[in-house]
Amino acid sequence: MLTDLLNPDASNRARRSIALATPGLWPASPELAARALAQGFSPPGAQLPRGVAWIVSVDERVPSVPAALWWLTTASAADDWTAEFVHDAARSLASARRHALRDLPVVCTLNAPPARSWRAVLKCAEPDLAVPTVLKGTSFGLAMCIAQGALALDQAVPADLLATAEVLPDGWLESVGGLEQKLRVVVRGGLGITRLFVAFEQKKEAEDILAGYGAELFGRTITVYGPRTLREAFGLLFEDLSGIVAARWTSAAGGAAAAGTLDELWRVTLAGDHEMLCWSGVERAARLFKTTLGAVDPGRARRADAIAAIASRHQGRGTLLGIPEDEWLLDLPKPIRLRYIAHAVQSAADHGDGSEDCYLDLAGRYVARRGDRFGEDLRVRGAVGRVLATLERYEEASATLAEAVSDWFAIELDHEASYALCEWVRVLGLNEKASELDHVAREHGARIEHHPQTSTLSIGFQRLALGVAWTRLRRWDNALAELASDLDWDHLAPLRGARLRWLARAHVERDAGRAIELRRELGDLARRDAGERTNHLLATMDAALEADDAGAWTSAFAELVGEVEDAEARRVMRRQEMRALGPGEVLTRAEAERFLRAYRY
């Protein structure tokens, strides 16, 4: 620790030499750096290796609660003291890449080591620490996300940065325990750390703790930042990302890297990777490629346009993918061709501009006849069923989706039938087919949910679809069995808002007080996450209809189609031929009910 540097002795010189050779441990204080140099120690390089970030732990088993500084890394030497992540720490690590990809403004690469390859390597510990072999807890979450984000940007994490905060599923940062002990080891051991990221609520606490060290800092300034969200933390850490990426891609050696990035984005985008919970970084990367290198690589520039459009659609903007010429489609391998067509057909369902029949014709020309279909054909058929549902051709939609589910089962890919089943369930609810819905839930839904390869997210979408359908049919017990099930809904970020809205609707006639609580919870969520404003406004319309408050449902509707600019709301208005409201006009009850019925979720 610091006393070793001030009072050197021969017995620990080798150990101190190794420690001081670590980026982040070499003194930032000019006075201490001069002393280290005078003793013959050499400063390390300024950068951490790629994919490495500082983390700090405390040991509450010892009365003094000693702390230690570690590298979070995938690389370690045979003589390193390493610790594995377990329990909450392992769960934080497993979700870190997904959260990072969601909240980065632009991505350069999606290649990353698997979660199981990450470990902690001890770099500095207080003397009475019983060095652990496992680390647990949620306080490493922010550092884990920063490490994953830096890899996605092909950047090194600054060596002078330490982050300690929990990352919630929606990207908000939470306080951590043991902050006083963690800062003690930073002051006395992490001599090169000059930037500290903590949750906003702990910023003043951290500043007060550091101020108490006074002379022990030897002139070093440790600046405390208190971001509220992971997105805000990335903004503080990686400034002008688009400029950095563009400069790299346009450099003499950057073209190949840019081409590799775009090829990777093309693959992941067409596959509809579930880890990409938010697609803004992918969209910006694709547009950046088109701007910087489109003229020299027109083939990939066209793919960049498609990537940007698909990513925009995934963000709920209702972006319509064009129908390309047959020559371009036929130049693609068949699986890739059909994936593109599936996205294009789904975009027609999202957009609802009257061109749906053209996209249905496109699907019909390229999908194999029944009996010769494989997975990609069935994805297109699922998209066709969704288009038919938006056109309110419910009988055709139901037959198409039932056939798609049956065909998935026939090729023994039960878990892949989830999307088609969710659309089928939605159609049955809208078409008031209660007995058929009951059969589908018991036979097909259970078969998909119990398949070992069905993801938790797919199960969540399926239960939400069933809960919505049963609520529409006023089968409250069935609805609550799906929506109030023991699934870990808090970690299914794409579903939380919609689930709270429909759970409140299912409770209204049984427990009005609980419905109010759920809508209040949804309002709190919408204030923290702008992406949930749509669900909050839809829930506001629900409550206003229950209270027969025309002013309230009109106000919520106007905000939804105006300020929020919700793409699904605009699609419903086009499809239902609904008028835009003028100043002082009120939406009729029939119009409000028709709007909510046609809204997909």
Percent of the chain clearing pLDDT 90 (strictly above):
59
Q: For position 6, what pLDDT does the model report?
A: 43
Average pLDDT estimate for 104-122: 80
Cα end-to-end span (Å), the chain? 57
In terms of phi and psi (left: phi > 0; alpha: psi -120 to 50; beta: otherwise), the region of 316 is: left
Pairing of β 173-174 and β 166-167: antiparallel
Q: For position 277, what pLDDT does the model report?
A: 46
Q: Which carries the bigger pLDDT value, residue 320 or residue 65?
A: 320
pLDDT tens figures, 207-245: 999 999 998 898 999 999 999 999 899 989 987 777 777
Q: For position 252, what pLDDT does the model report?
A: 60
Does residue 184 register a pLDDT over 50? yes
**H/E element holding 161?**
strand 161-163
pLDDT tens figures, 325-341: 999 999 999 999 999 99
- Cα angle 279, 172, 265 (rounded to 5 degrees) comes to 20
Q: Which carries the bigger pLDDT value, residue 44 or residue 350?
A: 350
Does residue 457 register a pLDDT over 80? yes
Q: State the chain's mean pLDDT as an integer.
A: 89
**DSSP labels, 386-400:** HHHHHTT-HHHHHHH
Percent of the chain clearing pLDDT 70 (strictly above):
94
Cα–chain center distance at 160: 27
For residue 139, give Cα distances in angstroms to 176, 298, 323: 6, 46, 48
Under the banding of pLDDT at 50, 70 and 90, the label for residue 112 is confident
Q: How far apart are CA 261 and CA 258, in angstroms?
A: 5
Q: For position 254, what pLDDT does the model report?
A: 66
Q: For position 564, what pLDDT does the model report?
A: 65
Longest alpha-carbon distance in the chain: 86
Q: For position 88, what pLDDT does the model report?
A: 94
Q: Strand, helix or coil at 463?
A: helix
Does residue 46 register a pLDDT over 90? no
pLDDT tens figures, 384-423: 999 999 999 999 999 999 999 999 999 999 999 999 999 9
* Nearest Cα residue to 350 out of 571, 595, 569: 571
**H/E element holding 67?**
strand 67-73
Q: Which carries the bigger pLDDT value, residue 79 or residue 515?
A: 515
Average pLDDT estimate for 291-318: 88
CB atoms within 10 A of CB 100: 27
- Sequence-distant (≥ 6) Cβ neighbours of residue 463 within 8 angstroms: 482, 483, 485, 487
Under the banding of pLDDT at 50, 70 and 90, the label for residue 16 is low
Lowest mean pLDDT among 21-25, 48-52, 250-254, 316-320: 250-254
